């Protein structure tokens, strides 16, 4: 088993090192690179997932389709594809993944004191099918009309913040310029 590492970044988004994913989240979590993605089907519905109850951060919380961390030297859109395959059995092609919020950043604290502190570009992924969730990652999932996403109880703090910035339906989200990604994500 390999020691998966996350990319640590400074306030300007430049890489300043790495840390083991297993130890990076705590009460003083350093700023690091992550991603969020929203899988959208042909009907314009969004796939929401409930995080597995065994996850160390935000267990059992409903959130966007898939989140994760690019490996050192890995482009975030490749990390999106890798994690979608690992978590949901979804294979997304190169033309199916669009950058929509390149500069999203958030900090959130769990009731236990564990902190998320991430530069977290957001992606839209076009895909239709039946996901096959990995139970160690995903407890449940559901396809939801975009207008109904906010009615889902217990949404993750990052998802709620992203909803404020994702204007209109998923079909209307403009694709962002990758040059606006943090420097550490421009691989």
Question: What residues are annotated to the active site?
Answer: 67, 118
| Phi, psi values for residue 48, rounded to 5° | -105, 145
Task: Kindly write down the DSSP assignment for every residue of 126-168, as one continuous string.
Answer: E--S-----TTTEEEEEEEEGGGGGGSSSB-HHHHHHHHH--S
Torsion of CA 55, 105, 178, 79, to 10 degrees: -10
For residue 86, the surrounding DSSP H or E stretch is helix 76-88
Six-digit token string for 78:
């490749």
Residues 173, 114: Cα–Cα separation, whole Å: 32
């Amino acid at each position: 088993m390999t020691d998966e590492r996350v990319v640590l970044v400074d306030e300007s988004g430049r890489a300043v090192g790495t840390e083991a994913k297993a130890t990076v989240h705590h009460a003083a979590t350093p700023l690091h690179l992550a991603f969020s993605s929203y899988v959208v089907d042909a009907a314009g519905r969004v796939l929401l997932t409930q995080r597995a109850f065994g996850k160390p951060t935000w267990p059992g919380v409903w959130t966007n389709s898939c989140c994760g961390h690019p490996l050192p030297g890995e482009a975030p859109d490749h990390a999106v594809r890798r994690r979608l395959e690992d978590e949901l059995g979804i294979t997304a092609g190169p033309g199916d993944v669009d950058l929509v919020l390149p500069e999203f950043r958030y900090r959130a604290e769990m009731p236990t004191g564990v902190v998320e502190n991430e530069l977290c570009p957001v992606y839209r992924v076009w895909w239709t099918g039946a996901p096959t969730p990995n139970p160690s990652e995903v407890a449940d999932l559901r396809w939801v009309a975009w207008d109904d996403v906010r009615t889902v109880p217990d949404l993750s703090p990052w998802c709620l913040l992203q909803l404020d910035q994702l204007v209109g339906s998923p079909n209307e989200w403009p694709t962002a310029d990758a040059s606006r990604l943090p420097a550490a994500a421009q691989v």
